[in-house]
């Protein structure tokens, strides 16, 4: 059967949905297809957990909005209805009522009257209606999912659901500082990772743990069922042991078990198919302790993996030659395993908006002792590149034809390579000095960590070693990465931020930090110039830029290794957050004229078991024809676990 594959799908608000293809799937034998199938089911079963983590009202509101959507029978050209549809699609995309990037609550474009009438027609009580109207329409109720403003109480001002209402930042920090005191300082568990912090009747704080029989227990049991199904089709005994340990962790909620699981998982590199399923990244918690739920499944892309392997095989060389002070270097780089993969399914916090590179586990001591697994997700990058081609961005924002040609020629290869360097070497490099707390940089930790990995990539992409390893064609290629990175950090990433707002998200703060630090400290190498009333990045000395990146890398590594909170704060506050209002306005205007969507996300393929007449499973089919709303509604039907 030949299916035409269309990458670009729906476009609304500031979003563009894409499809990604999984070219390896149909080449797998049935046993591996079944492994993918059941792991994918496990990755979808946790969907509701994330919705509840993002907001304690999220699930209830989603059900209401979906009921309105499916039961509406009024005119389709009604302006309120059309605005409502956009609102629901945005809420789906963000897994909640706050923008996935800016974290600000969405403004509904439809009227109160429309909303109330719909609820009345579905027999909602007056009390329920009043509550829902408050959540949707009152800008002062839950205005922001994560607030990171320096000097404010980050918990009282954030509406995410990781801490019970009323718990202050100082209380939570004291609670976790206390837990840490009793832990093995060499091998501390990641305290707080898998629980909601709550207050008992006597006023003391306790963790309500996310586990079977605990908070989110119903969803977790469904995940475990699917993992146990997948286990029958595991490719090897280590993969089985990984699944067993994960199920054990989901059942007992003990972070020591989680560390054992992470160690087993990082050691399993033989399988063609791999997965992540669990409480993973901490970007959604203003204190950076509690992990949002995510799941995904991947299949190795062998050809592209050779590239990443060339880097990881030389990890020690890169560590030894980095510009970082030798006290902060790893003496022995262990097991950085790098793979290029195709995503087979995206779930939880990776859906619909996804990372394109992932490096896990996050535990510092496990990374130091056992290494980490790093992946570059090639089929998502490929979908992005198709979407970017012909978008007009380079025509509008790149300074001249020569630079545009540089980007056209080397852009794709350098983007992939920078992601590889960032994930498989950058995050894995360096050590903390003995006694330094891994969370010492607190709310600045995520930004500094991303900066460290990006700088490692920027420094090394210009190294002749990469040409020697056959990863770059010549000495010119890296310049395209320098230009596009700095153009993004100084100018174009602003298009994603509403006017009047500042930079919030850790990866964006990191890019602004690196770019603006370089602009300020190396004016001989890079300037912002104005031509025809428009601002452009002008690079005059690429060689000097490499030196700048090396210098900043050394400083950022020092800050992390020593846990220098004050230096981290100053760096991020000075370079990573504030936007120049006039420049911001100009960039957004130029961008709006191109009529593009600043954020992209993905529609998953659909997997189905194929049975013969006696019910035996004979195949697993993959299809790409589900629309965005069909998929979201189906997920709500099939995977509503809470
Ligand atoms: Zn990263």
- In this predicted model, what pLDDT tens digit does every residue of 107-142 receive, in sequence order? 999 999 999 999 999 999 999 999 999 999 999 999
Same domain? 618 vs 591? no
Sequence-ordered alpha helix ranges (H) in 46-144: 47-54, 58-71, 79-94, 112-121, 126-137
CA 120 / ligand 1 centre spacing (Å): 47
Reported as type and span, the H/E element at residue 378 is helix 378-388
CA 478 / ligand 1 centre spacing (Å): 20
Residue 339 and residue 374 in contact, taking contact as beta carbons nearer than 8 Å: yes
Q: Does residue 35 register a pLDDT over 60?
A: yes
CA 150 / ligand 1 centre spacing (Å): 23
CA 338 / ligand 1 centre spacing (Å): 14
CA 426 / ligand 1 centre spacing (Å): 8
Q: Band of the pLDDT at 304, cuts 50, 70, 90?
A: confident
Out of 218-232, 322-336, 347-361, pick the least confident: 322-336
Q: Does residue 488 register a pLDDT over 60?
A: yes
Written as six digits, the tokens of 187 are: 């091998």
DSSP helix, strand, coil percent of the chain (3-state; round to 5):
50, 15, 35
Q: Does residue 182 register a pLDDT over 90?
A: no
Same domain? 467 vs 615? no
Written as six digits, the tokens of 484 are: 């596009």
pLDDT recorded at residue 593: 92
Report yes or no on 159 lying in a domain: no
CA 287 / ligand 1 centre spacing (Å): 18
Same domain? 524 vs 628? no
Q: Band of the pLDDT at 385, cuts 50, 70, 90?
A: confident
Pairwise CA distance, residues 411 & 484, whole Å: 8
Q: Band of the pLDDT at 388, cuts 50, 70, 90?
A: confident
CA 446 / ligand 1 centre spacing (Å): 9
% of the chain residues with pLDDT over 90: 86
Report yes or no on 254 lying in a domain: no
CA 480 / ligand 1 centre spacing (Å): 20
Q: Band of the pLDDT at 1, cuts 50, 70, 90?
A: very low
CA 314 / ligand 1 centre spacing (Å): 20
Average pLDDT score over residue span 233-251 = 98
Average pLDDT score over residue span 486-514 = 95
CA 358 / ligand 1 centre spacing (Å): 7
Report yes or no on 463 lying in a domain: yes
CA 448 / ligand 1 centre spacing (Å): 10
Report yes or no on 190 lying in a domain: no
CA 530 / ligand 1 centre spacing (Å): 32
Print the domain residue range for 48: 41-145+611-638
CA 366 / ligand 1 centre spacing (Å): 17
CA 450 / ligand 1 centre spacing (Å): 5
Average pLDDT score over residue span 395-421 = 92
Residues with CB under 5 A from ligand 1 (ion): 450, 453
3-class SS at 223?
helix
Pairwise CA distance, residues 491 & 614, whole Å: 61
Q: Band of the pLDDT at 2, cuts 50, 70, 90?
A: very low
% of the chain residues with pLDDT over 70: 99
CA 533 / ligand 1 centre spacing (Å): 35
Out of 45-54, 227-236, 422-431, 505-514, pick the least confident: 422-431
Pairwise CA distance, residues 204 & 80, whole Å: 47
CA 506 / ligand 1 centre spacing (Å): 9
CA 175 / ligand 1 centre spacing (Å): 28
CA 423 / ligand 1 centre spacing (Å): 6
Q: What is the mean pLDDT of the chain?
A: 95
Same domain? 507 vs 540? yes
Report yes or no on 257 lying in a domain: no
Chain-centroid distance, C-alpha 620: 29
CA 131 / ligand 1 centre spacing (Å): 39
Same domain? 617 vs 593? no
pTM: 0.82
Same domain? 583 vs 629? no
Pairwise CA distance, residues 501 & 104, whole Å: 10
Pairwise CA distance, residues 341 & 299, whole Å: 5
pLDDT recorded at residue 332: 86
The total number of structural domains in the chain stands at 2
Same domain? 590 vs 621? no
Q: Band of the pLDDT at 4, cuts 50, 70, 90?
A: low
Q: Does residue 471 register a pLDDT over 50?
A: yes
Average pLDDT score over residue span 79-98 = 98
Q: Does residue 335 register a pLDDT over 80?
A: no
Residue 91 and residue 110 in contact, taking contact as beta carbons nearer than 8 Å: no
Same domain? 518 vs 478? yes
CA 262 / ligand 1 centre spacing (Å): 18
pLDDT recorded at residue 336: 66
Same domain? 580 vs 628? no
CA 117 / ligand 1 centre spacing (Å): 46
Same domain? 538 vs 476? yes
DSSP-assigned beta bridge partners for residue 17 = 601
Same domain? 623 vs 529? no
Nearest to 358 by CA among 333, 340, 345: 340
Report yes or no on 382 lying in a domain: yes
Same domain? 476 vs 616? no
CA 424 / ligand 1 centre spacing (Å): 10
Cα distance from N-terminal residue to C-terminal residue, the chain? 38
Q: Band of the pLDDT at 376, cuts 50, 70, 90?
A: confident
Report yes or no on 373 lying in a domain: yes
Report yes or no on 133 lying in a domain: yes
Instruction: State the virtual CA torsion across 163, 502, 107, 602 in degrees, nearest 10.
Output: -80
CA 453 / ligand 1 centre spacing (Å): 6
CA 354 / ligand 1 centre spacing (Å): 13
CA 452 / ligand 1 centre spacing (Å): 9
């Amino acid at each position: 059967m030949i299916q035409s594959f269309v990458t670009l799908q729906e476009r609304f608000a500031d979003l563009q949905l894409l499809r990604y293809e999984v070219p390896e799937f149909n080449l797998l034998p049935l046993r591996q297809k079944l492994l993918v199938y059941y792991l994918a089911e496990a990755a979808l079963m946790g969907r509701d957990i994330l919705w509840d983590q993002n907001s304690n009202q999220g699930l209830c509101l989603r059900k209401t909005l979906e009921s309105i959507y499916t039961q509406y029978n009024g005119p389709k050209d009604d302006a309120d209805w059309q605005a409502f549809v956009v609102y629901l699609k945005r809420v789906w995309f963000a897994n909640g009522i706050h923008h996935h990037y800016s974290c600000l609550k969405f403004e509904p474009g439809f009227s109160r009257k429309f909303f109330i009438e719909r609820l009345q027609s579905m027999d909602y009580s007056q009390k329920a209606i009043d509550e829902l109207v408050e959540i949707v329409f009152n800008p002062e109720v839950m205005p922001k999912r994560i607030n990171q403003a320096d000097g404010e109480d980050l918990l009282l001002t954030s509406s995410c659901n990781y801490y019970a209402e009323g718990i202050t930042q100082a209380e939570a920090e004291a609670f976790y500082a206390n837990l840490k005191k009793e832990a093995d300082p060499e091998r501390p568990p990641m305290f707080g990772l898998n629980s909601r912090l709550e207050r008992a009747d006597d006023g003391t704080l306790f963790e309500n743990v996310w586990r079977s029989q605990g908070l989110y227990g119903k969803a977790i049991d469904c995940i475990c069922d699917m993992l146990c199904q997948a286990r029958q089709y595991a490719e090897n005994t280590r993969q089985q042991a990984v699944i067993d340990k994960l199920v054990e962790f989901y059942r007992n909620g003990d972070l020591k078990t989680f560390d054992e699981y992470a160690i087993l998982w990082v050691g399993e590199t033989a399988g063609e198919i791999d997965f992540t399923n669990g409480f993973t990244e901490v970007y959604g918690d203003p204190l950076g302790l509690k992990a949002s739920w995510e799941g995904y499944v991947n299949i190795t892309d062998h050809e592209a993996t050779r590239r990443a392997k060339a880097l990881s095989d030389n990890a020690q060389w890169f560590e030894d030659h980095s510009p970082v002070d030798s006290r902060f270097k790893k003496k022995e780089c262990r097991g950085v395993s790098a793979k290029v993969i195709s995503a087979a399914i995206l779930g939880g916090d990776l859906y619909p908006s996804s990372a394109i590179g992932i490096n896990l586990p996050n535990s510092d001591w496990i990374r130091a002792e056992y290494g980490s697994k790093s992946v570059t997700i090639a089929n998502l990058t490929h979908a992005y590149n198709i979407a970017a081609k012909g978008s007009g961005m380079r025509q509008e924002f790149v300074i001249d034809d020569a630079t545009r040609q540089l980007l056209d020629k080397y852009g794709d290869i350098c983007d992939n390579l920078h992601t590889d360097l960032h994930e498989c070497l950058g995050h894995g490099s360096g050590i903390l000095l003995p006694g330094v707390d891994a969370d010492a940089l607190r709310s600045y930790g995520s930004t500094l960590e991303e900066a460290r990995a990006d700088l490692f990539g920027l420094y090394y992409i210009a190294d002749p070693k990469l040409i020697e390893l056959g990863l770059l064609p010549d000495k010119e290629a890296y310049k395209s990465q320098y230009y596009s990175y700095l153009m993004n950090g100084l100018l174009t990433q602003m298009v994603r931020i509403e006017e009047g707002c500042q930079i919030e998200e850790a990866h964006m703060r990191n890019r602004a930090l690196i770019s603006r630090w370089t602009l300020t400290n190396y004016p001989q190498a890079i300037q912002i110039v104005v031509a025809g009333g428009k601002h452009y990045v002008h690079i005059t000395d690429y060689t000097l830029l490499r030196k700048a990146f090396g210098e900043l890398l050394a400083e950022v590594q020092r800050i992390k290794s020593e846990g220098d909170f004050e230096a981290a704060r100053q760096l991020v506050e000075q370079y990573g957050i504030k936007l120049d209002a006039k420049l911001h306005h100009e960039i957004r205007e130029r961008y709006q004229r191109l009529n593009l969507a600043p954020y992209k996300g993905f529609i998953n393929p659909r997997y189905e078991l194929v049975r013969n007449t006696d019910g035996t499973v004979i195949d697993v089919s993959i299809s790409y024809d589900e629309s965005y709303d069909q998929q979201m509604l189906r997920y709500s039907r099939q995977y509503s676990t809470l």
